[in-house]
Structure 1
Amino acid sequence: MLYQGKKISVFFLFFLGLCFSYAQKNPEVFPYKAAGLSEEEAAIHLLSRFTYGYNVNDVGQIQKEGLERWFFRQLRGKATDKELAEMLEPYADAMLDNKTLAEKYPRNTRVRRMMINDGYIPKDSVINGSVFFKEAYKNYLAEKGFKPEQELYRKFIAAKVLRAAFSANQLQEVMTDFWFNHFNVSFTKPQSAPFIPSYENHVIRPRALGKFDELLLATAKSPAMLLYLDNASSVAERPNAKNKIGINENYARELLELHTLGVDGGYTQKDVSEAARILTGWTIYPLNGYGNQNLIKQITKGNEVQRQSLIEEDFVFAANKHDKRQKTVLGKDFENNGYDEGVELIFYLSSRPQTARFVSKKIAVRFVSDTPQEALIDNMANAFLASEGDIKKILTAMVYSPAFWHRDNIYSKVKTPFELAISSVRALDAQVENPNRLINWVTRMGEKKYYYIAPTGFPDKSSYWINTGSLLNRMNFGLSFTSNKASGINIDLLELTRHHEPESPEHALDMYAKLLLPTTDIVTLKNRLSPLLTAQNLQKKVAKSSGADLHRQDEDMLAVNTRKINNRNRKSNNAMLAQVVGLIIGSPEFQRR
């Protein structure tokens, strides 16, 4: 066995420190040859792990640039994205700050109150499903210059699709998705939902390749997280107070269990309670319709309280709501120090060996295998601690480890539905004409982005994503993706072959397999797909077998486009090519990364 699981040496850590320059001209060569991989196989492995997919041109370009130089360039995350910026212009609202979004996209509950207060409708007319109320609601938004919440969410998710598919900073996008899942919040909680676009765009993405402690602190102060896990309402207990709101432990528990130490991190329920007391008074700025509208007046009543409180954009530390007694977490005492007390806790948890190991393992599961070797996790955790949580150095320790390149780990991960959809776009150089149609397919395949209700985020294990039903849905997606526009994309399949049209389905399978799966075992792929190459009404049959017939819109679109395709004769796509390429996308070989 090529990798025996030896712990990283002191010399290797020292060496990493010397060679780790993000702009270095001659970085140390990755150890893929020792694993028996060719440069092409290594390039594909890098692209499979650190991007949302690739095509054959990408494989050639990364070899030309040098695998190591490409990786360190991706770590910088500074590539110019002019074309992507143009694509994102129609969805620019998704990048707005929380204050602007709260004014432009008010919550439905706030709009209803405003309509009643303005005398626009009587109170007993507020029946959400009624035609009268829907029309009145629409007209009121137009008159006031407001926009519906759902429009913001559609723009945000559409921008997510375009960034994943076309960003030149692919590693940054992959890590943004990883960290969002690690610090999960969900549209299923109405109070936090409007703040999720800013949470990903302004809190996570800029720090996705930075320092873990800074990322952790930023998420802790985000309105999306403060509301999702209820810390915004957590205040010191007042024995004689009329309002018995008190301390809420939800965020403190997930901070220890999910964000830092891990479930086996050695903390107790007492530690959770003490951490919750430290974080009392961490809440959101009272934006339009959100938070305690009297908060600012309360915290600025007296000079002493005013000095102790803190206002940072949409975050507030309310000193008058903070527990001022001594606390102890993991044996460490925390004296009353206001806001700084919470920051000290965040940084303390970030520096724990348990945190280094827990976070490193999650990264290894995402980028190496479902069951990463213990020595690899040790290496990454050592890099975490030595660099004080520098995400770039953790990833570098991982990619220079022999375990990353072990042949058993090549194509060992299963793509999520989102990864499958985006990798299909990238593999086929497709144009995304309607990102929301594409995301609808992702939802049908079992991944409703930003709607995972539990704070754990989506599981990152193959067993969660793969079963008979999901495989059929994925095959259904592949056939839909290439044969009609119901997926919101446009593809010129013959453009990929420089307009050399295959002579037969078998020839087409040969040609497109080399383009989409350049290192796959073509014999195995042929044996698997050949019986389906010329099957009639295949998409309808697959959809029926999956237990969900084609949506009527998709069926109509399929019929119309099939007629158009057949009428084109030798121009661009045809039904045969669409079926062959759709089968490759739906194959087990394309499902893996």
Structure 2
Amino acid sequence: MKAVIKYFYVPFCAIGIIFFLSSFLAKDNDITKAYQKAGLTEKHAALHLLSRFTYGAKPNEIDEILKMGLDNWFNNQLNAKIADEELSSKLKSYDAINLSNLEVSETFPQGAKVLRMAIKDGFIDKDSVKVGDNKKEYRDKILSYMETKGLRPQQELFRQFISQKILRATYSNNQLQEVLTDFWFNHFNVSLTKNECAMYIPAYERDVIRPNVLGKFKTMLLASAKSPAMLFYLDNFSSASNNQSDGAIMEMMGMNAKSEKAKAAIQKIKANKKNQGLNENYAREVMELHTLGVDGGYTQDDVTQAARVLTGWTIYPFDDYGGGAALKKMIDKIGEGNLVKRGFVHDGDFLFAINRHDTGDKVVLGKKFDGSLGYQEGVDLLNMLAQHPSTAKFISKKLATKFVNDNPAQSLINKMAKTFSDTNGDIKAVLKTMTASPEFWNKEALGEKTKSPFELAISAVRALDADVVQPYQLYSWINKMGQKIYYYQAPTGFPDKGQYWINTGALLNRMNFGLALASQKIPGVRINLSKLNDNHEPESSEAALKTYSKIILPERDLTKTVERLTPFLNDPNLLNKVEQAANKNKPATSMANTEDEDTMMAVGAVKKPQTVQKNKQNNMANNTMLAQVVGVIIGAPEFQKR
């Protein structure tokens, strides 16, 4: 009998192992199964993946993905560990983007802080700072002081920060990570328009958003709540309770409540609290925008109760200037070790100040929160919100809207939400569920998303294999097309709907951008159009349109596109119009010197033998024709979609 069992056991074990392996392998081929079932070719499927999970296909990139295999390519993007030597080389000169918040505060201080420092150091007389004083003289003194102290203007920090985003989007091999960084930054939006939080935004994207875009949602939610950028942006840094007794305050501070010194401290603390008080801004937005959604089932009372839970969440003070000066003096005096014993929590740039915390019990969404838990009470609240069924649906819909179409099917949202709940908010798992679903591959999804100005600009430089040496010049055009990245003021972030981006003026600016880019009118962005076609010169503008449409818009039926664009090819005023637009758009601070020898020859600045001059003129005529063709393709409706 044992022999019989053994005889059957071994084959069944083998069958079980084979079944397990086949199931495992099947999961790795979910994309292949899904696109095949939808009736797409492998090339069309590769293009769709590139359209959704990168900033646009580069020349020959579809073929590279086919060699690798679509599932393997997507898994590599999900892991986000591909080497990025070219990007690293491009970013070497940007010395500010890796600074800590403390280093940024010390190197790029706000103007008000610089003034206080200059007065304290005796560089500027306090009494001389009056309205009506000589502004130039005052500015010169401030600039002289900054130079003496090695301080730099904040605009330089923001310029580097914006430039690095453009370079990452253009050159990173980990494209999905960059696309998701943009998505989640927009979800947890903060804005450079708010001075108090602006200097902390570079580290916010670098340390809070980018490392967590493919991890657990709750991790990113907690990290954003504790970030100085978010604490300042939605004012939670100042939120404090007014319900503590004098004795409780003194006990937390380790002071004798009967002493005169203690009484004075009590009055000062209460005065500060009176100015601060309970602030509901973050509590409201963390429910409405970050987790549950506007229809997530919470009430105004839930907002108030959640705000009470999150009292005392503030920033760890960096220096003796500004709103954190009093708190820093208290920490220095009492000692951090003693504060920890009393319930304070210091984690990097975050501080939980228990003397500001509402220690009473609260009820949020029907769950009771114990006020005596202090910091942990807030962590428990955020974890509850992150795991709520309404959050699963809300986040899944936003992801589907980003990566599928503007009105994703409810069936897809339900599948993604189930994965979100089953995996405790695992973003990778949710994306895998999405790409394995037929809704991701159907005709309502293919090429149905409208590019934002940022996506348009980056996809264009990628499609043309441009060398971007001055990324801030691209930002000027992105801004002109309607998207001032990092400056969106509302906590909602930029809308992710095509109708927001497209109108008559926007389409004109997009066409002007395409022509300016192809005509080499954007300083610091170099393009070799001939190289894209293996240095073969088209015989006519019509031939160039057909050839370059296939290069820039691969794997598409271009019959109607060519027919629509042909009338634009021979418009003699088209490049004159873009020349005017480029000059109008050129930043006053441009450091570019774009006049190469050929351009100088065209305006008679350089003289060469007549035969060479004639050849140059012929080449320039061909280049002008080709630039006009490529610019028209970039401005075409088909290129506006992804």
Query: What is the TM-score normalised by the length of structure 2?
Result: 0.85
**How far apart, CA to CA, are the structure 2 residues paired with 1:126 and 1:275?**
44
The amino acid of 1:34's aligned partner reads K
Q: Deviations over 1:292-317 (max 9, x none)?
A: 12324546749476441111111000
- The answer for the alignment partner of 1:147 in structure 2 is 152
The amino acid of 1:242's aligned partner reads A
Please say which of residues 568-577 and 504-513 is displaced more in the overlay. 568-577
The amino acid of 1:446's aligned partner reads G
Aligned residue for 2:444, secondary structure, equals helix
Go from structure 1 to structure 2 and tell me whether the alpha carbon gap of 1:561 and 1:174 turns closer, same or farther (over 3 Å shift): farther
- The answer for the alignment partner of 2:162 in structure 1 is 157
- The answer for the alignment partner of 2:366 in structure 1 is 331
2:54–2:179 Cα contact (<8 Å) kept = yes
Go from structure 1 to structure 2 and tell me whether the alpha carbon gap of 1:167 and 1:351 turns closer, same or farther (over 3 Å shift): same
2:59–2:465 Cα contact (<8 Å) kept = no
**How far apart, CA to CA, are the structure 2 residues paired with 1:316 and 1:92?**
28
Go from structure 1 to structure 2 and tell me whether the alpha carbon gap of 1:152 and 1:515 turns closer, same or farther (over 3 Å shift): same
- The answer for the alignment partner of 2:635 in structure 1 is 586
Aligned residue for 2:82, secondary structure, equals coil
Alpha-carbon shift at residue 161 of structure 1 (Å) = 0.6
Alpha-carbon shift at residue 431 of structure 1 (Å) = 0.4
- The answer for the alignment partner of 1:111 in structure 2 is 114
- The answer for the alignment partner of 1:278 in structure 2 is 309
Alpha-carbon shift at residue 537 of structure 1 (Å) = 2.8
Number of aligned residue pairs: give it.
Answer: 576
After TM superposition, the structure 1 = structure 2 runs for residues 547-566 of structure 1, keeping only pairs within 5 Å, are none
Alpha-carbon shift at residue 425 of structure 1 (Å) = 1.0
1:495–1:572 Cα contact (<8 Å) kept = no
Q: Deviations over 1:532-552 (max 9, x none)?
A: 1121131443688x9995559
> Unaligned stretches of 5+ in structure 2?
1-19, 246-269, 603-614
Aligned residue for 2:363, secondary structure, equals strand
Instruction: Give the root-mean-square deviation of aligned CA atoms.
Output: 2.8
Aligned residue for 2:570, secondary structure, equals coil
1:480–1:487 Cα contact (<8 Å) kept = no
Kindly indicate whether residue 99 of structure 2 is the aligned counterpart of residue 96 of structure 1.
Answer: yes
Go from structure 1 to structure 2 and tell me whether the alpha carbon gap of 1:562 and 1:391 turns closer, same or farther (over 3 Å shift): same
Aligned residue for 2:418, secondary structure, equals helix
Go from structure 1 to structure 2 and tell me whether the alpha carbon gap of 1:387 and 1:42 turns closer, same or farther (over 3 Å shift): same
The amino acid of 1:578's aligned partner reads A
Alpha-carbon shift at residue 481 of structure 1 (Å) = 0.7
Kindly indicate whether residue 307 of structure 2 is the aligned counterpart of residue 242 of structure 1.
Answer: no
After TM superposition, the structure 1 = structure 2 runs for residues 22-421 of structure 1, keeping only pairs within 5 Å, are 29-123=32-126, 124-125=128-129, 130-238=135-243, 241-243=270-272, 244=274, 245-288=276-319, 289=321, 291-298=323-330, 301=334, 303=338, 306-336=341-371, 337-421=373-457
- The answer for the alignment partner of 1:7 in structure 2 is none
Kindly indicate whether residue 472 of structure 2 is the aligned counterpart of residue 440 of structure 1.
Answer: no
1:98–1:195 Cα contact (<8 Å) kept = yes
After TM superposition, the structure 1 = structure 2 runs for residues 528-547 of structure 1, keeping only pairs within 5 Å, are 528-541=564-577
- The answer for the alignment partner of 2:265 in structure 1 is none
- The answer for the alignment partner of 1:576 in structure 2 is 625
- The answer for the alignment partner of 1:8 in structure 2 is none
After TM superposition, the structure 1 = structure 2 runs for residues 467-546 of structure 1, keeping only pairs within 5 Å, are 467-541=503-577
The amino acid of 1:408's aligned partner reads E
1:278–1:341 Cα contact (<8 Å) kept = yes
1:238–1:246 Cα contact (<8 Å) kept = no
Identity of aligned residues (%): 51
1:30–1:399 Cα contact (<8 Å) kept = no
2:409–2:439 Cα contact (<8 Å) kept = yes
Q: Deviations over 1:328-382 (max 9, x none)?
A: 1000000021100000001000000000000000000000000000000000000
The amino acid of 1:281's aligned partner reads G
Aligned residue for 1:257, secondary structure, equals helix
Query: What is the TM-score normalised by the length of structure 1?
Result: 0.91
**How far apart, CA to CA, are the structure 1 residues paired with 2:508 and 2:599?**
21
- The answer for the alignment partner of 2:11 in structure 1 is none
Aligned residue for 1:534, secondary structure, equals coil
Alpha-carbon shift at residue 561 of structure 1 (Å) = 7.7
After TM superposition, the structure 1 = structure 2 runs for residues 444-459 of structure 1, keeping only pairs within 5 Å, are 444-459=480-495
Go from structure 1 to structure 2 and tell me whether the alpha carbon gap of 1:18 and 1:196 turns closer, same or farther (over 3 Å shift): farther
1:112–1:126 Cα contact (<8 Å) kept = no
Aligned residue for 1:210, secondary structure, equals coil
Q: Deviations over 1:95-119 (max 9, x none)?
A: 2110111111111111122222223
The amino acid of 1:436's aligned partner reads Y
Alpha-carbon shift at residue 129 of structure 1 (Å) = 9.0
Go from structure 1 to structure 2 and tell me whether the alpha carbon gap of 1:573 and 1:257 turns closer, same or farther (over 3 Å shift): farther
Go from structure 1 to structure 2 and tell me whether the alpha carbon gap of 1:535 and 1:558 turns closer, same or farther (over 3 Å shift): farther
Q: Deviations over 1:244-276 (max 9, x none)?
A: 121100000000000000000000000000000
**How far apart, CA to CA, are the structure 2 residues paired with 1:157 and 1:362?**
25
The amino acid of 1:48's aligned partner reads S
Aligned residue for 1:323, secondary structure, equals coil
Please say which of residues 514-523 and 504-513 is displaced more in the overlay. 514-523
**How far apart, CA to CA, are the structure 2 residues paired with 1:456 and 1:16?**
44
The amino acid of 1:46's aligned partner reads L
**How far apart, CA to CA, are the structure 1 residues paired with 2:134 and 2:281?**
34
Aligned residue for 1:90, secondary structure, equals coil
**How far apart, CA to CA, are the structure 1 residues paired with 2:582 and 2:478?**
17
Go from structure 1 to structure 2 and tell me whether the alpha carbon gap of 1:568 and 1:172 turns closer, same or farther (over 3 Å shift): farther
Alpha-carbon shift at residue 37 of structure 1 (Å) = 1.3
**How far apart, CA to CA, are the structure 1 residues paired with 2:586 and 2:485?**
20
**How far apart, CA to CA, are the structure 1 residues paired with 2:150 and 2:515?**
42
The amino acid of 2:348's aligned partner reads E
Alpha-carbon shift at residue 141 of structure 1 (Å) = 1.3
Q: Deviations over 1:368-414 (max 9, x none)?
A: 00000000000000000010000000000000000000012111000
Alpha-carbon shift at residue 83 of structure 1 (Å) = 1.5
Go from structure 1 to structure 2 and tell me whether the alpha carbon gap of 1:535 and 1:226 turns closer, same or farther (over 3 Å shift): same
The amino acid of 1:350's aligned partner reads A
2:523–2:594 Cα contact (<8 Å) kept = no
1:478–1:583 Cα contact (<8 Å) kept = yes
Q: Deviations over 1:411-458 (max 9, x none)?
A: 100000000010011101100011101111000000000000000000
Q: Which has the larger radius of gyration?
A: 2
Go from structure 1 to structure 2 and tell me whether the alpha carbon gap of 1:466 and 1:563 turns closer, same or farther (over 3 Å shift): farther
**How far apart, CA to CA, are the structure 1 residues paired with 2:430 and 2:617?**
52
Alpha-carbon shift at residue 135 of structure 1 (Å) = 2.2
Q: Deviations over 1:228-253 (max 9, x none)?
A: 00000001124883341211000000
**How far apart, CA to CA, are the structure 1 residues paired with 2:45 and 2:97?**
36
Alpha-carbon shift at residue 527 of structure 1 (Å) = 1.8
1:53–1:427 Cα contact (<8 Å) kept = yes
**How far apart, CA to CA, are the structure 2 residues paired with 1:287 and 1:351?**
34
Go from structure 1 to structure 2 and tell me whether the alpha carbon gap of 1:238 and 1:539 turns closer, same or farther (over 3 Å shift): farther
- The answer for the alignment partner of 1:9 in structure 2 is none
- The answer for the alignment partner of 1:5 in structure 2 is none
Alpha-carbon shift at residue 484 of structure 1 (Å) = 2.3
